[in-house]
């Protein structure tokens, strides 16, 4: 039984990594399509939507300009935030982790992959380690939402999943804290469904080596790194005045 399950997981992991290669070193046609979709469709649409509907502001762009490769950890409180990441880090190419079942959907999975998403297996999420290493070797920035689920319009980030930060420690790359701050606005007194004003703040890079101690395992180092990055994001939300009383707050898996 155990051997059969192990074999199934290994086959699943190999299948996942094969599918994920498209976002890093896919065919020339795929990469061309990804470039066109990102920069000539998604970016202009997100710019208009962000400015006209969300009154989006981006702060801290100077914090990533000297970063050659690295990882981005953000709080997860709106469905639209991957699009805001495209704007915040423009013109840098980003890729990001998503549920495997989303990127393999026959209906829109191809579009999600073109936009830079790669699948994270539910059964064995750490199996993406080789893919992460290859992507970082190509000087990419990788976005993760370490809470693991979307907390709808919440300004109190939940616990962070340590695996993401283990990848940063393993590859010795900096982590950029990405805080999404939501502000209440007058129009919502009439139209409660209208989205809150949104500010995205890119924090200063946090380096794994700063949490290295004699006798500490990589797992312990990653835990300290995750706790620090989470505290940075919380501090930014507090400083920017994130609204904690939005009436629509509810949890989504």
First-to-last CA distance in the chain?
Answer: 30
Residue 197's pLDDT is 96
- Give residue 2's pLDDT: 38
Q: What distances in angstroms separate CA 69 from CA 140, 146, 211, one per listed residue?
A: 5, 19, 19
Residues linked to residue 200 through DSSP beta bridges, in sequence order: 58, 180
The answer to whether 75 and 180 have CB atoms below 8 angstroms apart is yes
pTM of the predicted model, to two decimals? 0.85
Model pLDDT, residue 123: 80
pLDDT on residue 3: 40
Place of tokens 């989006």: 56
The confidence score (pLDDT) of residue 89 equals 96
One DSSP character per residue, 135-175 reads: HHHTT-EEEE-TTSSEEET-SS--PPPHHHHHHHHHHT--E
Q: Specify the pLDDT at position 10.
A: 41
Domain 27-247 falls in which CATH fold?
Glycerol-3-phosphate (1)-acyltransferase (3.40.1130)
Mean pLDDT by 10 residues, the chain (253 residues): 40 43 70 91 96 96 95 94 94 88 81 87 84 91 91 92 92 97 93 93 96 90 96 97 74 42
């Amino acid at each position: 039984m155990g051997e059969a399950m192990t074999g199934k997981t290994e086959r699943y992991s190999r299948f996942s990594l094969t599918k994920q290669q498209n976002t890093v070193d896919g065919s020339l046609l795929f990469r061309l399509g990804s470039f066109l979709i990102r920069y000539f469709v998604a970016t202009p649409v997100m710019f208009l939507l962000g400015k006209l509907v969300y009154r989006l502001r981006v702060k801290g762009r100077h914090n990533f300009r000297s970063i050659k490769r690295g990882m981005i950890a953000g709080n997860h409180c709106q469905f639209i935030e991957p699009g805001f990441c495209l704007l915040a880090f423009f013109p840098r190419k980003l890729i990001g982790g998503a549920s495997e079942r989303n990127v393999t959907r026959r209906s829109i999975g191809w579009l999600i992959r073109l936009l830079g998403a790669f699948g994270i297996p539910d059964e064995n999420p750490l199996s993406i380690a080789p893919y992460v290493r290859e992507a970082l070797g190509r000087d990419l920035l990788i976005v993760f939402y370490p809470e693991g689920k979307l907390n709808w319009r919440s300004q109190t980030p939940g616990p962070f999943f340590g695996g993401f930060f283990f990848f940063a420690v393993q590859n010795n790359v900096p982590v950029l804290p990405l805080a999404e701050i939501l502000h209440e606005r007058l129009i919502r007194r009439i139209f409660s469904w209208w989205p809150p004003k949104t500010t995205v703040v890119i924090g200063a890079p946090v380096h794994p080596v700063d949490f290295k101690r004699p006798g500490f395992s990589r797992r312990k180092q990653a835990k300290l790194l995750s706790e620090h990055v989470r505290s940075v994001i919380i501090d930014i939300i507090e400083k920017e005045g994130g609204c904690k009383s939005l009436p629509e707050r509810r949890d989504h898996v």
